[in-house]
Chain A
Amino acid sequence: GENVEQHPSTLSVQEGDSAVIKCTYSDSASNYFPWYKQELGKRPQLIIDIRSNVGEKKDQRIAVTLNKTAKHFSLHITETQPEDSAVYFCAATQEGAGGTSYGKLTFGQGTILTVHP
């Protein structure tokens, strides 16, 4: 099955700095990679996702890059703000017809991001 490794486990930055979180995956069949943000005691919320037919996707201060050959993808947050402080999870799954792996998100271990004012 799929295995997703996420680094770093904790990340502390100053407001305005950039933050980068990296994930690697093991199953070359995985082709959909979402990122979720989870604030303390709250539900995970999708912030951005990428499919394997593109190498980069950007949404305002958030971007995700994907390297299929190396099987890794990264989340980039620019101009960080205190409200960006949360736990961030990457995930991977396989889109495609059939198979029990379809739609099954495998999550990384999470990164605790702290943005200091």
Chain B
Amino acid sequence: EAGVVQSPRYKIIEKKQPVAFWCNPISGHNTLYWYLQNLGQGPELLIRYENEEAVDDSQLPKDRFSAERLKGVDSTLKIQPAELGDSAVYLCASSFSLAGTTDTQYFGPGTRLTVL
């Protein structure tokens, strides 16, 4: 089966510019996650969707970050305006989760963002 797809793979922008990342989860997966991974660190959850509902966005810096998952499939993560400290890898993951269970989370290849 096709894995989680993310684009772009790399993005270089100047600070204060907007940027958007796109994720297509594995077909049939109802839960989608966006993680931030700084160099040398483990991924940190930014937001989790169950279908089209954001059920956990407590770690998302809402002053500059936004996300959407229209129709409960693809998702977009946006940063506006970007800051130097936003340079990191943004990982998308998906799983098929039923109430009361945690299924394996499958990760995409990530988007490496560099803010100059």
Q: Complex Cα distance A93/B104, Å?
A: 12
Check if B42 sits within 8 Å of A43, measured CB to CB.
no
Count the A-B residue pairs with Cβ separation under 8 angstroms: how many?
Answer: 59
CB nearest neighbor in B for A112: B40
Given known pairs A103-B31, A103-B48, A104-B56, the reply for A44 and B43 (CB within 8 Å) is yes
Known contacts A107-B42, A110-B41; A100/B56 CB under 8 A: yes
Q: Does B25 contact A (CB under 8 A)?
A: no
Tell me how far the C-beta of A96 lies from the nearest C-beta in chain B, rounded to whole angstroms.
Answer: 6
Chain A residues within 8 Å of B43, by CB: 44, 89, 105, 107
CA distance A106 to B44 in the complex (A): 7
CB neighbours (8 Å) of A20 from chain B are: none
Taking a contact as CB atoms under 8 Å apart, the answer to whether A108 and B104 are in contact is: no
Q: Smallest CB-CB separation from A6: which chain B residue?
A: B42
Separation in Å of the A45 CB from the closest CB of chain B? 7
* Residues 74 to 116 of chain B near chain A (Cβ within 8 Å): 91, 95, 97, 99-102, 104-110
| Count of A interface residues, CB-CB < 8 Å | 27
The contact string, 1 if C-beta is below 8 Å from chain A, for chain B 1-36, is: 001100000000000000000000000000100000
Chain B interface main SS type: loop
- Does B55 have its Cβ within 8 Å of any Cβ on chain A? yes
- Residues of B within 8 Å of A54, CB to CB, are none
- Residues of chain A within 8 A (CB-CB) of B101 are 95
**Residues A108 and B42 in contact in the complex (CB < 8 Å), given A97-B99, A97-B100:** yes
Using a CB–CB cutoff of 8 Å, the interface residues on chain B facing chain A are 3-4, 31, 40-45, 48, 55-56, 58, 91, 95, 97, 99-102, 104-110
**Could you pull out 16 A-B pairs where Cβ atoms are within 8 angstroms?**
A4-B42, A34-B104, A43-B4, A44-B107, A89-B42, A95-B100, A100-B55, A102-B102, A103-B56, A103-B95, A103-B102, A105-B43, A108-B42, A109-B40, A109-B41, A110-B42
Interface of A toward B, CB cutoff 8 Å: 4, 6, 32, 34, 36, 42-46, 49, 89, 91, 93, 95-97, 100, 102-110
